[in-house]
Amino acid sequence: MSRITALALTVIFRRLAMLIIALCLTIAASFLFATVVQADGFDWLDVVRIALMAIAAFWLAWGGCIALFGILFPPEAPPRGPSLPEGRTAILLPIYNEATAPVFARLEAIMRSVDQLRARDRFDFHVLSDTTKLDVAAREQAAYHRLLTKRGAGGRLFYRRREKNIGRKAGNIADFLTTSGGAYDYMLVLDADSLMDGDTILEMVRRLEADPRLGLLQSLPRIIGLNTLFGRLLQFATSLYGPYFARGLASVQGREGAFWGHNALIRTRAFAASCGMAPLTGTPPFGGHILSHDTVEAALLARDGWTVRLDPDLTGSYEEAPANMVDYAKRDRRWCQGNLQHSRIMAAPRLRFWSRISILQGIFAYLASPIWLVFLLTSLAAPLVASPPVYFDGRSLFPVFPHPETATALALLFGLVALLILPKLLLTIRVLLSGEARGFGGARGVAIGFLLETLLTSILAPIHMMFHCRSVFQVVIGADSGWPTADRDDGSLPLTAALSATWWMVLTGVAAIAFSHEYVPELFYWLLPVALPLVAAPLLVWLTASVWLGRLTRRLGLFTVPTDTCPVPVADDMRQALEEMAVA
């Protein structure tokens, strides 16, 4: 049996195992829930609730399985090409009305890192601007000429600006391919907030050259450079759990891996031949240009027989992320529209099975929140529509009391909480046992970080859920989000901004508490863990956006990540470049 066949069989076996585990857990949760809800009689609302519970439980179980598989199946060592690559690589930086100085500081840091390689002549840099604001465009051109002169990068550093950003980022990349793509064998697609180490870029090229069927290689970007409390929480969670989740994903993806739109190396000719996407018929949000193009591009490459692979062991790949919950929700709003739009291409011809599953996962990442919300609402309504208990059914002289299902309800509750927490706990134990804890502030740092992270994310979860619900609602009623520019300053928020973003959650939370107190008092205390964070949403959003609190956690040694204790040279170079720009 060839190696490729053996690998394919292994992947099929893992996928089946994951499906069976997730289905078993879903059936168990649904059975327990059905036992609980039929205690006071059975009506149509119960059927809806059981169905919603089954979907939500499957989603939770699926996530848990990915984490478990990340522990069980470490990645195999990939083959590598020659140390000096033969092909030429274009490093692409698509930008759109971004803050100019940080973008060019990042580019300078990457250039410095690449220039230290022996193979530096094999890499060119392209700034692909889609900027529509003329003042920003003027600043970009000035920054380009300054960097060009500073690095002496004539013939290696290019800048071009499209006046109309047709097709957005996908259109920007397509424009590069149709004008200059033929001059390069590979392209490294970055984002405005990407940072990559030269050695990692070289390693990616070597891996691509070693496998002629490898069309796209995705690295695992680590989040860095955040100073707010929310940002440090995000950094800690992604650093601690992210690599294992990525391993779990990679273990079942096989040749139909993921593309996250940036920090990935792509074979230009394969991409050009396979990934041109016609706009969907109709108008946005479901028609028009495909927004979240990355998932679709990965599917299209796989459709044409190219391997798309995620290599979680590729370190030296970094990105920044929204530093507060409002910016996070803004980005999610954009991604939500893109992912829901994918519902129209789920049945696109010739897509591979797992590519369709990946697209479905993307859609479900946003539908999960409305499902939970409808589940909560139906649970609040259920006691109101339930028929009164029948004590005398005519078969006995004595009253028959409903069978209490408290033990079953508690078992279900603990089961669901376990599905939420157990994967993280397992990963934390894995980190403690593998000696990786030093980077996270030692065993104590990992343990306290895990507890605090679990507590804080549980408190913030209802707020995320409401933001997601609003996004889905807006997309469904046909509101087009457009592409708002990401705000990437220090990330803090004034209380007024937090209030204007979340006032409607406060009303929802207060209404839910009042309703529950008045009409379904038996659920009052059960509802509080969801409703109270909503009532306190402005305060929570504002506090988590605090840079002061973020720095305090750093001083206290909380949410420590490896990049805190072991500086990242490329990030230091970026900071230095930014300071030099400020002086100039």
Q: Which of 50, 224, 275, 545 binds another protein (CB under 8 A)?
A: 275
Number of residues that bind another protein (CB under 8 A): 42
From the CB of 428, what's the least distance to another protein, in Å?
A: 41
For the window 183-202, what string marks contact with another protein as x by the rule CB under 8 A?
x-------------------
Contact stretch for another protein (CB under 8 A) within 176-184, 323-331, 416-424, 473-481: 176-184
User: Using the rule CB under 8 A, is 517 a contact of another protein?
Assistant: no
Q: Distance between CA 155 and CA 160 in Å, rounded?
A: 13
Is residue 101 packed enough to be buried (19+ CB in 10 Å), middle (13-18) or exposed (0-12)?
middle
Measured from the CB atom, the residue of 115 and 490 that comes closer to another protein is 115
User: Using the rule CB under 8 A, is 139 a contact of another protein?
Assistant: no
Q: Which of 159, 186, 230, 328 binds another protein (CB under 8 A)?
A: 159
Measured from the CB atom, the residue of 68 and 103 that comes closer to another protein is 103
User: Using the rule CB under 8 A, is 344 a contact of another protein?
Assistant: yes
Q: Which of 268, 481, 516, 546 binds another protein (CB under 8 A)?
A: 268
User: Using the rule CB under 8 A, is 160 a contact of another protein?
Assistant: yes
Positive or negative torsion for Cα 166, 169, 171, 175: positive
Measured from the CB atom, the residue of 87 and 569 that comes closer to another protein is 87
From the CB of 113, what's the least distance to another protein, in Å?
A: 19
Contact stretch for another protein (CB under 8 A) within 181-189, 205-213, 315-323, 426-434: 181-189
Q: Distance between CA 60 and CA 424 in Å, rounded?
A: 12
Measured from the CB atom, the residue of 174 and 220 that comes closer to another protein is 174
User: Using the rule CB under 8 A, is 153 a contact of another protein?
Assistant: yes
Q: Which of 1, 77, 134, 278 binds another protein (CB under 8 A)?
A: 278
| Amino acid at the residue 383 | P
From the CB of 183, what's the least distance to another protein, in Å?
A: 4
DSSP string, 470-539: HHHHHHHTT-----PPP--SS----HHHHHHHHHHHHHHHHHHHHHHHHH-GGGHHHHHHHHHHHHTHHH
Q: Which of 13, 76, 138, 179 binds another protein (CB under 8 A)?
A: 179
Measured from the CB atom, the residue of 321 and 351 that comes closer to another protein is 351
User: What crossing angle do the helices spanning 100-115 and 198-210 adopt, rounded to 10°?
Assistant: 60
User: Using the rule CB under 8 A, is 388 a contact of another protein?
Assistant: no
Segments in 73-133 forming alpha helices (H): 100-115
Contact stretch for another protein (CB under 8 A) within 178-186, 233-241, 433-441, 550-558: 178-186
Q: Which of 17, 45, 148, 409 binds another protein (CB under 8 A)?
A: 148
From the CB of 280, what's the least distance to another protein, in Å?
A: 5
Instruction: At 264, give phi and psi (nearest 5°).
Output: -135, 145
What tokens appear for 93 in the block?
């930086």
**In Å, what is the CA distance from 408 to each residue of 32, 416, 512?**
6, 12, 26
Contacts of 154 (CB under 8 A, 6+ apart): 148
Contacts of 224 (CB under 8 A, 6+ apart): 195, 235, 318, 319, 320, 563, 568, 571
**C-beta separation of 261 from 295 below 8 A:** no
What tokens appear for 101 in the block?
């100085």
User: Using the rule CB under 8 A, is 321 a contact of another protein?
Assistant: no
User: Using the rule CB under 8 A, is 149 a contact of another protein?
Assistant: yes
Contact stretch for another protein (CB under 8 A) within 10-18, 28-36, 273-281, 560-568: 273-281
Q: What element of type H or E holds 91?
A: strand 89-95
Please tell me whether the peptide bond between 399 and the residue prior to it is cis, using omega within 30 degrees of 0: no
| Amino acid at the residue 168 | R
**C-beta separation of 227 from 491 below 8 A:** yes
User: Using the rule CB under 8 A, is 584 a contact of another protein?
Assistant: no
Contacts of 574 (CB under 8 A, 6+ apart): 102, 105, 106, 108, 109, 195
Contact stretch for another protein (CB under 8 A) within 18-26, 274-282, 327-335, 497-505: 274-282
Q: Distance between CA 406 and CA 440 in Å, rounded?
A: 40
Contact stretch for another protein (CB under 8 A) within 132-140, 149-157, 219-227, 488-496: 149-157
Contact stretch for another protein (CB under 8 A) within 233-241, 266-274, 376-384, 526-534: 266-274
Give the position of tokens 């959003």.
541
Q: Which of 74, 182, 494, 521 binds another protein (CB under 8 A)?
A: 182
Q: Which of 27, 348, 452, 497 binds another protein (CB under 8 A)?
A: 348
From the CB of 119, what's the least distance to another protein, in Å?
A: 15
Q: Which of 1, 77, 134, 347 binds another protein (CB under 8 A)?
A: 347
**C-beta separation of 327 from 319 below 8 A:** no
Q: Which of 33, 62, 144, 542 binds another protein (CB under 8 A)?
A: 144
Q: Which of 118, 155, 395, 401 binds another protein (CB under 8 A)?
A: 155
Measured from the CB atom, the residue of 195 and 296 that comes closer to another protein is 296
User: Using the rule CB under 8 A, is 296 a contact of another protein?
Assistant: yes
DSSP string, 48-80: HHHHHHHHHHHHHHHHHHHHHHHHH-PPPPPP-
**In Å, what is the CA distance from 233 to each residue of 191, 248, 546, 553?**
22, 22, 12, 10
For residue 364, which of 392, 399, 390, 336 has the smallest C-alpha distance?
336
Contact stretch for another protein (CB under 8 A) within 120-128, 210-218, 461-469, 531-539: 120-128
**In Å, what is the CA distance from 277 to each residue of 149, 184, 273, 306?**
37, 21, 11, 17
From the CB of 517, what's the least distance to another protein, in Å?
A: 49
* Site residues (vs another protein, CB under 8 A): 121, 124, 126, 144-145, 148-149, 152-155, 158-160, 174, 176-183, 268-269, 272-278, 280-281, 290, 296, 300, 344-345, 347-349
